[in-house]
Homo-oligomer: A and B are copies of this chain.
Amino acid sequence: MFSKSCEYGIRAVIFIVAKSQSGQRVGIKEICNDVGAPEHFTAKILQILSRLELIRSIKGPNGGFYVEEDAPPILLIDIVRAIDGNKLFTGCGLGLKECSEKKPCPIHYEFKEIRDALREMLANTSIQGLTNDLEKGLVFLKR
């Protein structure tokens, strides 16, 4: 469904947000250890998110990744869009270049429903909301 990049990205951001809520910055090493992701690969993904200012980073000692206290919630869809683009939400289910209400592919309407439900879900789910369960140990990020 999502690319590896996106999976790592989401997992990393969940971890970063969780740590930020207790006021800590986290280094890429710790992130990748705790989230089970390849370090340099994930670093690049976080760079993208950092450039888009979805997350923040600071270099040097005591540096690391974090999100600001008063930052608006990060939505899953923000991360997916940033990393995988929005072909997932707009592309044809059968891979046709031209596929629309006017010239639909055979599964256009069936597929649209699923896609819309997915987009809705991603647009309504904030990372901040997910970290609660994580801290309660109800939910896991590794393995």
B residues less than 8 Å from A143 (CB atoms):
96-98, 103
Q: Does A133 contact B (CB under 8 A)?
A: yes
A104 adjacent to B139 (CB under 8 Å): yes
Q: List residues 57-98 of chain A with CB under 8 A from any CB of chain B.
A: 76, 88, 91, 93-98
B95 adjacent to A4 (CB under 8 Å): yes
Among B88, B107, B121, contact of A110 (Cβ-Cβ < 8 Å): B121
A96 adjacent to B140 (CB under 8 Å): yes
Instruction: Given A114-B118, A125-B107, A125-B110, verify A11-B141 contact (CB < 8 Å).
Output: no
CA distance A8 to B140 in the complex (A): 37
Q: Is the interface on chain A under 10, 10 to 19, 20 to 34, or 35 or more residues? A: 35 or more
Q: List residues 114-137 of chain A with CB under 8 A from any CB of chain B.
A: 114-115, 117-118, 121, 125, 130-131, 133-134
CA distance A140 to B103 in the complex (A): 7
Smallest CB–CB gap between A20 and chain B, Å? Answer: 15
B residues less than 8 Å from A8 (CB atoms):
95
CA distance A115 to B93 in the complex (A): 15
Q: A91: nearest residue on chain B (CB-CB)?
A: B1
